[in-house]
Amino acid sequence: MSDKILKVPYGTRDILPGEGAVRRGLEDRIGRLFNAWGYDEVDTPTFEYVDTFSNAGNPDLTAFKFLDRNGHSLMLRTDMTAPIARMVATRFRRDTGVKRLSYRSRLFRYEEAQAGRLCEFTQCGIEMMGAAGAEADAEVIALAVQTLLEVGLQDFSISLGQMEFINGLIEAAALNESQARDIKQCLIKRNVVGLGETVAAAGIPKQLADIFRELLFLHGGVELLDDMQGRVLSRRCWNALENLRKIYDLCREYGVEQYLSFDLGLTRSLDYYTGMLFEGYAAGMGYSLIGGGRYDTMMQQFGSPCPATGFALGIERILLTLQRQETVQLTVPPALFIAYAPGRTADAIRLAMQLRRQGQRVKVATFAMDEAEVQNQARINKCDTFRYVKE
């Protein structure tokens, strides 16, 4: 017997009964919420051409790749934004309306497995394509907050940043490409020490250098925007902050502003964000649970330029957080066990069908038994209640 028969590959796992039910429930609630906000559920192939993803600027170092019979390189999808961009560029080419799409999909990345993120994982998310304004970004953020509330998360917060603010600083400092890359790398790696060293080596004017050094500490409420607008002279940076203010004001109309704060040094490892971006965190969980932002240049790569914004959340991370916050327990839902005396099988089936139509969860015994056995059989079939059909 091969030693691989009973093992699963690195970074994969089984989902057992209790968890299966809870996950499905979570995904359904999220799906209903997305639907209520007017987002249409779509799906894309589990694997696609490598080119589709590399076109979207995704580093495919983490992809599971393979060849089809014609020798074309394929990969399991590593995110949903690139496939949806491809889909919109090809299937919605003449659709001039705003596209609101949602998905719940399994994704695959070959990377070091972490708590709540294995190589195979599930994301639920939305993309809004064709809307450029703060109104669209505010809707996306408000829906992100609603989603976290809907799944029952307590004690979470959303950090908002703006890539244009960072790009504006880089532009104002007249950095060359490699210096700009070093600075972005330090921001992505959250390396304050390296950022200070890079800024010093680049010889940036003091006022600007100070902002770069503080960048990873620029956290705060809406007053942070006032402070920075008072300090920052570049029009581009000023506009970026003004955009955040507008988004924030609209978020107040949605009643979600209490969950928001600003983090002007926020970057996300994916390179494609062009404007507002955000991440959500919960106490007791060391990783971000939800993330998204504006990516206005990606659709152009697919030959169909159009502004876009969206977010995705990791179901496994949400589930782990809910367990840590003790808001869910991974138990199977209760069920009724119907047992029957010899010769009464048909009656038992009829009863079960009737109760199921009324919404009950029913398991029918797979053999006739004596009344004395029923309680024990109900227990080993994991039913908390039972009925016995006799003469």
Partner 1 sequence: MNDYITIALPKGKLFDRSASLLAKVGWEAEGVSEDSRKLVIANEEKKIRFIITKPVDLPTYVEYGAADIGIIGKDVLREEQKDVYELLDLGFGKCRLMMAVPEAKLRPEMEDYAHLRVATKYPRCAKEFFDAQGIQMDIVKLNGSIELGPLIGLAECIVDIVETGTTIRENKLVEVARIFPSTARLIANPVSFKLKFDRLHGLVEDLQRVLQEEKEGKEVPQK
190 interacts with partner 1 by CB under 8 A: yes
CA distance linking residue 113 with residue 142, whole number of Å: 30
> For residues 262-281, which are near partner 1 according to CB under 8 A?
263, 281
Which residue, 213 or 387, is less far from partner 1 as judged by CB? 213
Binding segment toward partner 1, per CB under 8 A, in 12-20, 89-97, 153-161, 243-251: 153-161
List, in sequence order, every residue forming a beta bridge with 76; answer none if it has no partner.
47
Q: Report the DSSP beta bridge partners of residue 65.
A: 75
Binding partner 1 (rule: CB under 8 A), the pick from 147, 159, 198, 309 is 159
Helix (H) or strand (E) holding 311: strand 308-314
Per CB under 8 A, which region of 62-70, 138-146, 186-194, 295-303 contacts partner 1? 186-194
> Should residue 323 be labelled a site residue for partner 1 when binding is judged by CB under 8 A?
no
Q: Which of residues 192-231 bind partner 1 (CB under 8 A)?
A: 192-194, 216-217, 219
Query: Do 263 and 160 touch, CB atoms closer than 8 A?
Result: yes
Q: Which of 191, 229, 304, 345 binds partner 1 (CB under 8 A)?
A: 191
Q: Which is nearer to partner 1, 49 or 287 (CB)?
A: 287
How is 101-137 classified by DSSP, letter by letter? EEEEEEEE--S--BTTB-SEEEEEEEEEES--SHHHH
Give min distance, CB of 191 to partner 1, in A.
4
Q: What is d(CA 135, CA 14) in angstroms, rounded to the nearest whole number?
A: 41
Q: Which is nearer to partner 1, 262 or 337 (CB)?
A: 262
Candidates 45-53, 99-107, 151-159, 251-259: pick the segment binding partner 1 (CB under 8 A). Answer: 151-159
Q: Whose CA is closest to 160, among 172, 183, 142? A: 142
Among 67, 115, 201, 346, binds partner 1 (CB under 8 A): 115
- CA–CA distance, 206 with 340 (Å, rounded to integer): 85
Q: In what order do the strands lie in the sheet with 65-67?
A: 47-49, 73-76, 65-67
Q: Does 284 bind partner 1 (CB under 8 A)?
A: yes
| First-to-last C-alpha distance (Å) of the chain | 50
Q: Which of residues 334-363 bind partner 1 (CB under 8 A)?
A: none
Closer residue to partner 1, CB minimum distance, 91 or 219? 219
If binding is defined by CB under 8 A, does position 286 make contact with partner 1? Answer: yes
Q: Are residues 293 and 165 in contact, defined by beta-carbon separation less than 8 angstroms? A: no
Please give the full DSSP string across 316-378, using - where no structure is assigned.
HHHHHHHHHTTS----PPP-EEEEE-TT-HHHHHHHHHHHHHTT--EEE-SS---HHHHHHHH
102 interacts with partner 1 by CB under 8 A: no
390 binds partner 1 (CB under 8 A): no
- Point out which residues bind partner 1 (CB under 8 A): 114-115, 155, 157, 159, 189-194, 216-217, 219, 261, 263, 281-288
